[in-house]
Amino acid sequence: MQNTYKILISGQVQGVGFRPYVYNLAREFLLKGSVSNDEHGVIILVQGSEKSTHSFYEKLISFPPPVSKIKKSSIHEIQYPKFDDFNIVPSKKSGQLDLILTPDFAICDDCQKDIKNSENRRYNYPFTTCVHCGPRWAITKTFPFERSHTSMDDFPMCDDCIKEYTNPEDRRFHSQTNTCKTCGIDLFLVDNSGKKVEVSKNDLFKSVANLLLEGNVIAIKNTSGYLLCCHAENGQVVQKLRDKKHRPNKPFAVLYPSLVALKKELPITEKQEQSLKSVERPINIINSKGFKGKINLEAVAPGLNQIGIMLPYSGILQLLANQLKFPIVATSGNIHGSPIINDFEEAFLKLNHVADYFLNHHLKIVHPQDDAVVKFSKKYITEVLFRRSRGYAPNLFDISVKSDKKIMALGAHLKSTIAYAPNSYVYLSQYLGNLDNFDVYKRFTEVVQDFINVFEQKPDVLLVDSHSGYQSTLYGEELSIKDKIELHKIQHHKAHFASVLGEHHLFNSSESVLGVIWDGTGYGDDGQIWGGEFFEYRSNNMERIAHFEYFDWLAGDKMSKEPRLSLLSLSNPQMEHILNEKFESHEISIYHTLNSKNKLKTASVGRLFDAVASLLNICDFNSYEGEAAILMESLIDTYDLSKCQAYCKISENGLIPTKELIFNLYLDFQKGNSKENVILNFFYTLTSHVFQIAQKYQYKNIAFSGGVFQNTTLIDMIKEIGEKEYKLYFNINLAPNDENISFGQMMYYLQCSNK
């Protein structure tokens, strides 16, 4: 007997080859019917025996396409006219989107083989993709995911590509990004005067490789934005790139031609290898101890014991890698502080004094994205996201919301992201950057409108940081007035805490949770600058229970850029000789005079790190955010907890005595203890405070967030001391830094605010 069933699939199921996979699977089980996309996911109608249909369904759910992720599925019998065959039906959208969007995927092994094979018609074609790989979010205008909804629609398929597209036996069957040399996208090379460099298509990447070998900087338009590239073993050209990009010390990422080439020069762990080869293909920050290559490490990553490594993730980068015998710097195509550039005219205008040549193409990048960055801790192999962008955005796969209102959270200021819940899912934008920069702010406002346009819905609620000076807050206030949207302000560190609670589904926990939230800055409920906070979460209520003892906030935002100011604020008279080495006498007098009029205080652990770095003569001036803390951790290779000592204990009222901590650390250093041991004792002191607070208030569940927890040595110490006795929670699919604020704002609003 022939029955008809309707199968609904939701999740990451569009742009992943789901429909062609279903088509071939249905034919395998001799079923008739149809498969199509809609605004919710994938709809399958199948007609056949009950046994065959359920076997088909079980195999589909158990073994879906490689890059798909099924969130929900259902099957039920329906009444339907008889089908004559099984067909893929063009997408129909009858309502507003309620589906997981599709991120970009790294080039797959099969496509890599195609572009290396001189017998294949895609030999040397840089935009080779299939249903399993290629740009998705970067080129998407709207959903459901069809070619006509992407910028790939500007390139109509030739007859050969149409044959592949319509052939069920072909890997490119219904591949929406399908193109080839005949119908697809051309690359062209120009110098920084705008003159086109005449070179054949087959020799293009060989020419680019030679230009890199000769010491040129090349701006390469990739599938998610421009990269600035140069020879990583040539310290002179790396320094030239630093000078022109206005990036004096911040480390550059390095692209290796292959995993084989990388492993010859740098030992990597199994987890790092898996990450480097994953479909997300992020940059991995790897310890450079044991490095055997010729990269100029001091030029690429000044003062650090680590280096950011990436492997080719697009056809463009893979074809270049095929011609390279050396690693290259591959850093965001921008001037330091600006957003990644995605348009040739803008790139030429802003980068022609930086790059010697431009490798360009005409595929429009709708959503430009930086490369994502991760790091694994050494002892516990804990993965920490440093930047959540290409390959991850715009989804939070395991998070769903229940709200009658459409909610948009506008995040923080320095590491800006936007979260939107227009339906049952939460969407989190790619990393955007520091909103002090006008171009970043412009990109930020464009992403807000992109989300509104994609989902065809304006938010009912806007969430912003409680800091009245943040550009995201000011924009939210303007948008709220303009469009008559309800506005709520969420305290910065409560949003951090809520981000971890939300990720781990802890809001309904029957036990209270201790929140340890440490970062550089955030406007507190008492009008002071928070950043060393302990919260309790219990029954949809969040309360601050302890914090680092306040110290003077000097010179406004200048304090975060000059670690010596944090040392000045935390020092006592016995440390005057150190301050005299770092300040002119009139400077100290000026700062004290200014501070006598300024009553602003801070509990910032980020500034505590700065003070220690300055005291140890590691860093007095930050040239990039967090430089002092990164340089400190970089001095540590390994540690032995049994040899560590704490510099202070929490006080009876639960405060952590910051000045006592710094003074005892100073005495330890004066006795001749090494910088490395002093830093380890400092980390151990911070770690011990966590468990002193937990014991004092009898918590067994502890959640951590804030930029300080990008310190993987600190994470390892916390796990080593507390993992057996406590349940420890860290951000996992979000960066612990301010990128998670937008998501945390949303979680706090939904779970903790009195709406």
Q: Identify the pLDDT of residue 595.
A: 75
How far is the C-alpha of 263 from the C-alpha of 271, rounded, in Å?
14
* Sequence ranges of the chain with CATH classification 3.30.420.40: 551-731
pLDDT band at 397 (very low <50, low <70, confident <90, very high): confident
Task: Kindly state the percentage of the chain with pLDDT values over 70.
Answer: 99
Q: Identify the pLDDT of residue 702.
A: 98
Listed residue (524, 229, 529, 489) closest to 351, CA to CA: 229
Q: Identify the pLDDT of residue 1.
A: 64
Q: At residue 597, does pLDDT exceed 80?
A: no
How far is the C-alpha of 677 from the C-alpha of 263, rounded, in Å?
31
Listed residue (242, 256, 255, 371) closest to 302, CA to CA: 242
DSSP bridge partners of 409: 419, 463
Q: Identify the pLDDT of residue 574.
A: 95
Q: At residue 466, does pLDDT exceed 70?
A: yes
pLDDT tens figures, 494-512: 999 999 999 999 999 999 9
Across residues 251-271, what is the average pLDDT?
A: 97
Give me the architecture of the 388-496 domain, per CATH.
2-Layer Sandwich (3.30)
| Least confident range of 416-420, 478-482, 552-556, 692-696 | 552-556
* Sequence ranges of the chain with CATH classification 3.30.70.100: 3-88
Residue 425 near residue 99 (C-beta atoms within 8 A) = yes
- Phi, psi dihedrals of residue 363, rounded to the nearest 5°: -75, 125
pLDDT tens figures, 417-449: 999 999 989 999 999 999 999 999 999 999 999
Listed residue (349, 346, 280, 266) closest to 308, CA to CA: 266
Q: Identify the pLDDT of residue 459.
A: 98
Q: At residue 599, does pLDDT exceed 90?
A: no
Q: At residue 754, does pLDDT exceed 80?
A: no
Q: Identify the pLDDT of residue 276.
A: 98
Any idea which residue has 């080039």 for tokens? 107
pLDDT band at 143 (very low <50, low <70, confident <90, very high): confident
How far is the C-alpha of 46 from the C-alpha of 52, rounded, in Å?
10
How far is the C-alpha of 580 from the C-alpha of 593, rounded, in Å?
17
* Sequence ranges of the chain with CATH classification 3.30.420.360: 388-496
pTM: 0.96
Q: At residue 755, does pLDDT exceed 70?
A: no
Q: At residue 601, does pLDDT exceed 70?
A: yes
pLDDT tens figures, 314-339: 999 999 999 999 999 999 999 988 99
Crossing angle of helices 658-670 and 675-697, in 10° steps, is 150
Yes or no: domain 187-371 corresponds to CATH 3.40.50.720: no
Q: Identify the pLDDT of residue 452.
A: 95
Listed residue (441, 444, 434, 582) closest to 520, CA to CA: 434
What order of strands is seen across the sheet that includes strand 541-547? 541-547, 532-538, 513-518, 701-705, 727-730
How far is the C-alpha of 247 from the C-alpha of 233, rounded, in Å?
18
- Phi, psi dihedrals of residue 407, rounded to the nearest 5°: -115, 130
Any idea which residue has 């395998």 for tokens? 28
pLDDT tens figures, 197-223: 999 989 999 999 999 999 999 999 999
Residue 189 near residue 198 (C-beta atoms within 8 A) = no
- Phi, psi dihedrals of residue 100, rounded to the nearest 5°: -75, 130
CATH code for the structural domain at 551-731: 3.30.420.40
In sequence order, what E strands does 371-460 have? 373-376, 383-387, 395-400, 407-409, 419-421, 425-428
Across residues 53-71, what is the average pLDDT?
A: 95
Across residues 460-477, what is the average pLDDT?
A: 97
pLDDT band at 92 (very low <50, low <70, confident <90, very high): confident
Across residues 560-571, what is the average pLDDT?
A: 96
pLDDT tens figures, 539-550: 999 999 999 999
The runs of H, that is alpha helices, within 233-386 are: 235-245, 259-265, 270-277, 297-300, 315-323, 344-351
Q: Identify the pLDDT of residue 208.
A: 98
The DSSP code sequence of 536-578 is EEETTEEEEEEEBPPEE--STTHHHH-HHHHHHHH--GGGHHH
Q: At residue 97, does pLDDT exceed 90?
A: no
What mean pLDDT, rounded, does the chain reach?
95
CA angle 299–305–308, rounded 5-degree value: 70
* Sequence ranges of the chain with CATH classification 3.90.870.10: 187-371
Q: At residue 99, does pLDDT exceed 90?
A: no
| Least confident range of 81-85, 242-246, 675-679 | 81-85
Q: What is the largest CA-CA distance in the chain?
A: 95
* Other beta carbons within 10 Å of 94: 7
User: What end-to-end distance do the CA atoms of the chain give, in Å?
Assistant: 54
Residue 457 Ramachandran class (φ > 0 left, ψ -120 to 50 alpha, else beta) = beta
Q: Identify the pLDDT of residue 296.
A: 93
Which listed CATH number (3.40.50.1100, 3.40.50.300, 3.10.129.10, 3.30.70.100) goes with 3-88?
3.30.70.100
